[in-house]
Amino acid sequence: MPSVITVTSDDLALPLEELVVRTSTALDTHGHLIALAPAEPDDPARRRMHTVRSALEGDRIAIVPLTLPPLARTLLGEQLRQLSGTDLGPGVLAGAARLLSYYLHSGALLASVSKLDRVPVTVGSHVKSLVPGRHFAVVAHPEAYLGEADPAHVPPGPGYQTQLAVAGTGLDPGWITGPLAAGWHTQHLREVPLPPDSARWWGTSRLVEFTAYIADVGMLYQLVTSVRRDTCTWCGLEVIGDQCLFCATRLGERNAPAKHAARLPGRAVETPRRPQLLSSLGLPARSLHGRPPVPPDPASSGVSPRQPHKR
């Protein structure tokens, strides 16, 4: 069963030798490791993880850079850990990190946007942030949004069933738990600890971070299995997307058999599969090059979410 970790600034507090030992132990226990890292190449925590991977010569470590805010990255790691208990292999699970990020709506309630550089900030917003008592609603993913926290105006949200995670005590979260939760038709509110990188990411410590996410593991499983799978031509892992995130091999001609794939114990390397179908829902499988699949709605389709197979 692959292990999933979220790379944060807390990793910098550990000596490099200890981090290498811990990572090696995780590989011995789980076989493969998926590390969700910040997208910035010069991020110290991400660079530290690359150093660990090099020290271990770790072709079983996939470092997945993501532009998500810290809370969204944390929740994505939680989703992948849930899926790791199903029959999805490590290559598919690593690719699912990018796929499932499309279904996270993440933002924050901020007291100031003077140091915010994650979304475009107008001069007017900069001036308003100098006025005491102003609060700003910011959505950084999947589409940028910036406006005053007005009960009458809520940013566009997900069009499917989600839960809303709220983190931080720097401001009154009433706008999030009230107008935003109602406007986004949230099924459940969940309080979680504020990630250690949130203040730096958002440019202020006076914030409350929020993320709408899919909590149903059955729905997550259907989303991942609706996407076309191929076999990596180098390491033989089954993957989704155009690249194996473990060995960094780009998938070339998808109709060609895997010529150089290493044979894994007890498993034969297969020719890349044709797109799979979710026949019960009538949804064709899609490549990550196209638009991500729409989450199934069990209530409207009359079909209960297929439960994942346990190992």
**Alpha-helical runs (H) found in the chain:** 16-30, 44-55, 70-83, 90-101, 123-128, 174-175, 181-183, 198-202, 217-225, 298-301
Between these two residues, 185 and 251, which has the higher pLDDT value?
185
> Considering the domain boundaries, does residue 311 fall inside one?
no
Q: Containing domain of residue 49, as a range?
A: 3-100+219-301
pLDDT at residue 283 above 60? no
Pair 94, 234 in one domain: yes
Q: Which pLDDT does position 92 carry in this prediction? A: 96
Q: What are phi and psi of 132, to 5 degrees?
A: -60, 145
Looking at the structure, tell me whether residues 7 and 91 fall in a common domain.
Answer: yes
Position 48 confidence tier, pLDDT thresholds 50, 70, 90: very high
Mean pLDDT of the residues in the chain: 83
Query: Quick one: pLDDT at residue 308?
Result: 45
Mean pLDDT of 86-111: 96
Q: Say whether both 96 and 236 belong to one domain.
A: yes
Residue 306 lies in a domain: no
Domain C-terminal end among 154, 183, 215 = 215
Residue 307 lies in a domain: no
Give the pLDDT band (50/70/90) at residue 101: very high
Residue 129: inside a domain: yes
- Boundary-marking domain end, from 215, 234, 256: 215
* 109 and 211, same domain (yes or no): yes
Q: Higher model confidence: residue 1 or residue 38? A: 38
Share of the chain above pLDDT 70, in %: 80
Q: What is the pLDDT of residue 294?
A: 67
- 175: CB partners within 8 A, 6+ apart: 109, 135, 137, 149, 151
Task: Give the tens place of pLDDT for each residue, 179-237.
Answer: 999 999 999 999 999 999 999 999 999 999 999 999 999 999 999 999 999 999 899 99
Domain count, the chain: 2
Q: Does pLDDT of 81 surpass 60? A: yes
Query: Rounded to whole angstroms, how far apart are CA atoms 248 and 270?
Result: 19
Q: Identity (one letter) of the amino acid at 285?
A: A
Same domain, 146 and 201: yes
> CA–CA distance from 35 to each of 53, 146, 215, 292 (Å)?
10, 30, 21, 22
Give the pLDDT of residue 109: 97
Q: Is the domain of 79 the same as that of 109? A: no
* 181 and 82 within one domain: no
Please determine, for residue 115, whether its predicted confidence score (pLDDT) is greater than 70: yes
pLDDT surpassing 70 at residue 267: no
Indicate the pTM of the whole model: 0.81
- Whether the pLDDT of residue 50 is over 50: the answer is yes
**Is residue 306 predicted with pLDDT exceeding 80?**
no
Assigned domain for 234 exists: yes
Minimal CA–CA distance to 286: which of 217, 240, 247?
240
* pLDDT for the residue 251: 84
pLDDT of residue 296: 62
Asked if 81 and 116 sit in the same domain, the reply is: no
Residue with more model confidence, 12 or 298: 12
pLDDT at res. 302: 39
Count of residues in the chain:
311
Please say which residue of 169, 190, 215 terminates a domain: 215
